[in-house]
Amino acid sequence: MTADILAQRTFTLEDQQIFARLTGDANPIHVDPLAARRSLAGAPLVHGVHLLIWGLDALCRHLEPSVTLCSLRVNFEKMVPIGTRVEAVLADRKADRVRLEIRLDGRPAAVVLVGLSTPAQRQPVFLHGQAFTPSQPLSLSLAEMAALAGHVVPRPEATALAELFPALASRIGQRRITGLAAATFIVGMVCPGLHSIFRSLDLAAAEEAAVDEALHFAVSSLDERFRMVRIALSGAGWTGRIDAHIRPEPVVQPAMPEIAARIGATAFAGVRALVVGGSRGLGETLAKVLAAGSAEVAITYRIGKDDAERVAREIRETGGRCHVLAYDTTAGVAEGLRIAGFSPNQLYYLATPTIRPGNSAYNAARFVEYAAFYVDGFARVVEMVAANADEKLDVFYPSTVFIEDAPTGFAEYAMAKAAGELLCREFQSRGIVRKVLVERLPRLLTDQTRTLAEENFPDTVDVLAGIAMKMRRGATE
């Protein structure tokens, strides 16, 4: 059959905050842009169950009134950042099942198999007495997760879901739609909790006699290698299970004392370095490396003021000098980069957006997004800082090995970085700066590069200290 687009929607941060209030799943990855930028996604994500309920509501408006939804099996294939447009698509229809896809950029972000007949086998019905009602996501050890069991009661506010998604509520009943809300609460707030990714949900409608207001759960298996937890469910009109990943915690960059022990105390004396994007990640470590060698540094942040102040405090507590500036590289002006009494002689440009793979050979909007940081924003910063510096400026531009060998889906990112390299040569050939050091960096450990699987990364301090030494020596290779 030809796939039918049932509905389209762009979820906003306000949508997520409303859904969090109704379900209780206020995991920061969904509602807190500052916290979400430190996750694998790099930005707030739409709740998977929010996508599911919205897609099912669109499906129910399409199905004949006599059709009964007897089971659900959903795999969440891709993260959906807020502000991106998704489609609910009827991909296939059989007599006993429907395939619904929630598509992002034309590819499935969630695949939902809806059973229209009673499944041959059901999960057992069970009850667990301990109630879980955390107002903040739990952060549990693997050992604590392995033995976890209890129940959650849908919030009174969850009844409003029937008003937001009336077609689904009329088809499966209010009790079961609030049961779906309880499932997202279990994953996002209880187990795995704070560091969680909802992977899949497999449910069958329970007979009315087995229906309980609460959704009971018990961890049935835990795979440490793949950081996967399987949770059995019973109640609120359902029986079934959840699979969820335990996502890595935010990367903690090396502390100042650790870095200082590896850097000569006067290695960068006389350097006045402006680190654009120095509130976390590579920019944070680079600022610490420079300060450990007696450089005076200034770091910028776009939204992470607390992170920037933490970095500056850490540098100052060990005797270093650090200024903090609020600056958005995409804002179109660079006037905010002035500091009284501080004229940089080095500029390190570490500003970056969230980097994610694309689904098409070329996406013009994504290239523009990357170029806003790596070309346009870079140009504004260099021209403004160079024009106001007391001496000729030295610039570091971090490029990427993806230019030579980009994995599928990263063409726009590599293209924007390549354009930035050409701009670096133009700045130097015109004499706008004294020199530009361009390094095609390998993948270093940051919030954006960390994955569910364990990987070996180059030593970040060694790599960045080597760059700072090249800048100190005046190398242009």
Q: Which of 226, 246, 266 is the last residue of a domain?
A: 246
With respect to residue 191, please indicate whether it lies within any of the assigned structural domains: yes
Domain assignment of residue 65, given as a range = 4-246
- Residue 401: inside a domain: yes
What is the domain-level CATH number for residue 129? Answer: 3.10.129.10
Q: Let me know whether 241 and 260 are in one domain.
A: no
Same domain, 292 and 411: yes
Out of 246, 264, 280, a domain closes at: 246
Same domain, 163 and 291: no
pLDDT at 380: 94
* Residue 108 shares a structural domain with residue 172: yes
What is the total count of domains within the chain?
Answer: 2
Let me know whether 165 and 189 are in one domain.
yes
pLDDT score for 475 = 42
Residues making up the chain, counted from first to last: 477
User: In terms of domains, do 227 and 271 share one?
Assistant: no
pLDDT beneath 50, residues of the chain? 209-211, 475-477
Same domain, 269 and 368: yes
DSSP code string of 374-410: IIIIHHHHHHHHHHH-SSPPEEEEEEEGGGTSPPTT-
Instruction: Please say whether the beta carbons of 379 and 430 come within 8 A.
Output: no
Structure confidence at residue 452 (pLDDT): 61
CB atoms within 10 A of CB 276: 25
pLDDT in tens, 88-119: 999 999 999 999 999 998 899 999 999 998 87
Whether residue 251 lies inside any domain: the answer is: no
pLDDT tens digits, residue range 244-290?
A: 999 887 778 899 999 999 999 999 999 999 999 999 899 999 999 99
Question: Both 366 and 446 in a single domain?
Answer: yes
Q: Do 349 and 450 belong together in one domain?
A: yes
Q: What is the side-by-side order of every strand in the sheet holding 272-276? A: 321-326, 296-301, 272-276, 346-349, 394-400, 435-441
- Residue 404 domain flag: yes
* Digit-coded pLDDT (tens) for 402-452: 888 878 889 999 999 999 999 999 999 999 999 999 999 888 867 676 666
Is 367 contained in some domain? yes
**Helix ranges, 8-131 (H):** 13-23, 28-31, 33-36, 48-62
Among the three residues 217, 246, 275, which one is the final residue of a domain in this structure?
Answer: 246
Name residue 256's beta-bridge partners: none
Pair 200, 334 in one domain: no
Whether residue 192 is found in the same domain as residue 274: no
Asked if 225 and 332 sit in the same domain, the reply is no
Q: How many CB atoms lie within 10 A of CB 456?
A: 5
Let me know if residue 45 belongs to a domain: yes
Sign, CA dihedral 377-380-383-384, equals negative
CATH of residue 283: 3.40.50.720
CA distance 469 to 244: 44
Task: Judge contact between 275 and 287, C-beta under 8 A.
Answer: yes
pTM above 0.85, yes or no: no
b/e burial code for range 129-144 (CB count within 10 A of at least 16 → b):
eeebeeeebbebeeee
